[in-house]
Amino acid sequence: MKLPTECRWTFPSPDQWPTDDDVVAVGADLEVDTLLYAYSRGMFPMLLDKRNLAWWSPMDRGVIPLDGVRISRSVRQSAKKFTCTVDTAFTEVMTRCATSHTDGNWITKEFIASYTELHQLGHAHSVEVWNNAGELVGGLYGVRINKFFAGESMFHTETDASKVALLHLVQLMTLDGMELLDTQWRTDHLESLGCIALPREKYLQLLNSAVQP
């Protein structure tokens, strides 16, 4: 895809970002062009509080190397009892991410509407995990720009379902020759799956390569 080269908002360049804060800008909007411009330059949106939209670029950025994902034998066994699909229930996955756990509270109706539009335009994608009864029991969603995927959130209501979604995503990215899987931050849970933390400068170098057509 062709990257947006301009934005209606004036975001600071990386050399102007604070070196002691993950928040690099405040304001702007959630329009498609704004989101694509920001993601391609290492920023992602989350609410700073109930009123203010902030743009984040963590000083220590979480990524999962595609050749370093750690999926246990038990999870691989669990995968056999689930069915994975892609882009069949994007808005439902995002809504479930917003309501299934407390760290999804930032996913407001405005976020869901904006990312659903991104999805309809082919820039945002979901992985769905279904049980044998045909129930949606896990999934994840994120934004793709060429060889880069920004993982936004995941959920599960049955054991291992979100891990199975991640495994499916990594397999698809590998088959498609993609390069960079961003998780925003490295958490204990993600670290157990192979997530590492990269200094912001190193992350931006890898991102710049991955987003090129």
What's the sign of the alpha-carbon dihedral 185, 186, 188, 194?
positive
- Count of C-beta atoms within a 10 Å radius of residue 184: 21
At residue 151, what is the residue type?
G
What is the CATH architecture assignment of 62-197?
Answer: 3-Layer(aba) Sandwich (3.40)
Outline where DSSP puts E strands in the chain. Answer: 23-26, 44-47, 53-56, 60-63, 83-86, 124-130, 136-145, 148-156, 180-184, 196-199
Q: What are phi and psi of 130, to 5 degrees?
A: -120, 145
Task: Look at residue 104 in the predicted model and tell me its pLDDT.
Answer: 52
* H or E stretch at 172: helix 161-175
pTM of the model: 0.95
pLDDT value for 33: 95
**119 and 87 Cβ atoms separated by less than 8 Å:** yes
The rounded distance, in Å, linking the Cα atoms of 26 and 48 is 8
What are the mean pLDDT values of the chain's consecutive 10-residue runs (213 residues total)?
84 96 97 97 93 96 95 90 98 94 76 98 98 97 98 95 96 97 94 96 98 92
Partners of 63 in the beta sheet?
A: 182, 196
What local confidence, expressed as pLDDT, does residue 64 receive?
A: 97
Q: At what angle do helices 109-120 and 32-39 cross, to 10 degrees?
A: 80
